[in-house]
Structure 1
Amino acid sequence: MFIDSHCHLTSPKYKDAEKVVEGAKGAGVVKLITVGTSVADSKASLAVAEKFANVYSTAGIYPHEDKNSNIGDVKIALQSIAGLSKKVVGIGECGIDITNRKNQRPIGDQINLFQAQIELALETGLPLIIHNRNGDEHILSLLDKNRSKGLKGVVHCFTGSWDFAQKILAFGFYISFSGIITYPTGNDILETVINVPPDRFLVETDAPYLPPQPYKDTPNEPKYVRIVAEQIAKVRNTPLDFVEKQTYNNTCALFNI
């Protein structure tokens, strides 16, 4: 049995969420976590989760979403969503995203938004789901600032170095691997795939984004999380059923599902 620890069932690329969930189940993916990226999307994610016994959701704001909203107001909105149902099992995705995209949230505001969601994770006791693009130092600084408060969570869709991974692991966080590890350009991540402790990694699709190499030209789906697990088993030279059992148990432990 597999769990897709991070997907986006609210995506407009999915015309029928039920078909996607059933397709996953047919591939042995028995639980899914659909992740919120804005206040509106977090509400929609919970609505999807409430429809399916094996789907859970999160409440969070991606670094460049809800840019015109007051950070205090969106924190209150997320807190409200998180309190609506036990189906909400995490806070995020949130974090730091530094790119050349137009209209990105200024880095100072990103840091403040991330800190607000860290505080919400601590207040609710829910794990934090971290998005990181070129934000290593900012993320490490904020995790260090909150080190003694019992914060837990995962860096999703990990693409960093083994050095960065070790620092994340030292905070007690998990690392989640996506279809990126199946790409020819994903070789730099493989050192982390090989060395991360077995009780500290998860698998995800980030569907409909980042399809694994064999399906590169199609929308990703949660059912393909097995391909990520197969690549991990190959790289670590370990049986697939070990990766399957380990990631299932790790995800259940982190998200209490």
Structure 2
Amino acid sequence: MFIDSHCHIDFPELAQDIDRLRSAMRDNQVSHALCVSVNLPQWPGVIALAERFPEIYASVGVHPDYEDTEEPTVERLVELAAHPKVIAIGETGLDYYRLEGDLEWQRERFRVHIRAARATGLPLIIHTRSASEDTLRIMEEEGAAEVGGVMHCFTETQQVADAAIAMNFLISFSGIVTFKNAVQLKEVARTIPLESMLIETDSPYLAPVPFRGKTNHPALVRHVAEHIAELRGLPLATIAEATTANFARLFKLEGRLT
């Protein structure tokens, strides 16, 4: 079976069609999905899906791209993370691509999430774009290795992957790895240890080839796994088994993903 380790099925373009999406997941042997929080005002929709469907889990966090939104505190994140279907803190991190100017607020928000993860013992879901040096520095300064987590929708270098793995983080590949021009990323997917790998859709974005440009959804994570299997010269079942086991281990769900 396959697991979509990062999706946004609470977003309107997917939430309105949830029954069809769940059916497509079953048809493609996608057994579970982690619906990832991007801000606190929308979090009730995330947790409602997790409460309604046994195969859906949730995280709690505020994405670095959301500048004008309710700012999280350690205490608030810890409170929300007490829900039994919450298995991670995030999506958090740094993004210097979309926003400019003084981004110290982004770095402080990232620190808050790491502190909340350490307080709860839950792993982190980290987003980094055009900010890998500061991302790794803050992870180290705040002791992120204590809880570990995942570098989601990874697009960075082998060196960044190695540094994250050394801090107990897994590397998650999205549909981007299937894109023809993602040469460097394909090499990372080909070489990192299998025990350090997850797969995801980041849906509704970044649909893999041959669906590029269309609305993404969790069932399509299978195509990410197929491409990685091809890159590594391994049976698809090997990628499925490894990434499912990695997901269960990271999010403390061993024996519960049936």
TM category, shorter: over 0.9
Q: CA RMSD in A?
A: 1.6
Q: How far is 1:70 from its partner?
A: 4.2
The equivalent residue for 1:254 is: 250
Instruction: Determine helix, strand or coil for the equivalent of 1:213.
Output: coil
Contact 1:178 1:228 in 2 (8 A): yes
Contact 2:206 2:216 in 1 (8 A): yes
Contact 1:122 1:150 in 2 (8 A): yes
Q: How far is 1:145 from its partner?
A: 1.0
Q: Summarize deviations over 1:1-51 as a string: whole Å, max 9, x none.
A: 010000001111122222212211221000110000000222211111111
Contact 2:40 2:72 in 1 (8 A): no
Instruction: Determine helix, strand or coil for the equivalent of 2:63.
Output: coil
CA distance in 2, matches of 1:209, 1:168: 24
Contact 1:179 1:210 in 2 (8 A): yes
Q: How far is 1:68 from its partner?
A: 4.6
CA distance in 2, matches of 1:53, 1:61: 24
Instruction: Determine helix, strand or coil for the equivalent of 2:133.
Output: helix
Structural mapping, 1:134-213, within 5 Å = 134-147=130-143, 150-213=146-209
CA distance in 1, matches of 2:102, 2:226: 39
The equivalent residue for 1:77 is: 76
Q: How far is 1:67 from its partner?
A: 2.7
CA distance in 1, matches of 2:230, 2:237: 12
Identity %: 34
Q: What is the aligned counterpart of 1:91 among 89, 92, 99?
A: 89
Bigger share in helix: 1
Residue 111 (1) aligns with residue 107 (2): yes
CA distance in 2, matches of 1:186, 1:255: 28
Residue 44 (1) aligns with residue 14 (2): no
The equivalent residue for 2:221 is: 225
Aligned residue type for 1:3: I
Aligned residue type for 2:79: S
Structure-2 change in CA distance of 1:227 and 1:81 (3 Å): same
Runs of 4 or more consecutive aligned structure 1 residues displaced over 4 Å after TM superposition:
none
Q: How far is 1:146 from its partner?
A: 2.9
Instruction: Determine helix, strand or coil for the equivalent of 2:136.
Output: helix
Structure-2 change in CA distance of 1:149 and 1:254 (3 Å): closer
CA distance in 2, matches of 1:42, 1:19: 22
Q: How far is 1:105 from its partner?
A: 7.9
Q: Summarize deviations over 1:156-213 as a string: whole Å, max 9, x none.
A: 0000011111111111110000000010121110121111111110000001100002
Q: Summarize deviations over 1:230-257 as a string: whole Å, max 9, x none.
A: 0100001111110010000000110122
Contact 1:98 1:134 in 2 (8 A): yes
CA distance in 1, matches of 2:104, 2:122: 25
Q: Which runs of 5+ in 1 are unaligned?
A: none
CA distance in 1, matches of 2:166, 2:210: 34
Work out the number of aligned pairs and report it.
Answer: 252
Structure-2 change in CA distance of 1:77 and 1:66 (3 Å): farther
Q: How far is 1:151 from its partner?
A: 2.5
Structure-2 change in CA distance of 1:135 and 1:190 (3 Å): same
Q: Which runs of 5+ in 2 are unaligned?
A: 254-258
Q: Summarize deviations over 1:98-142 as a string: whole Å, max 9, x none.
A: 1245xx684211000000000000001111000010111111111
The equivalent residue for 1:11 is: 11
Aligned residue type for 2:17: D
Structure-2 change in CA distance of 1:23 and 1:163 (3 Å): same
Contact 1:39 1:77 in 2 (8 A): no
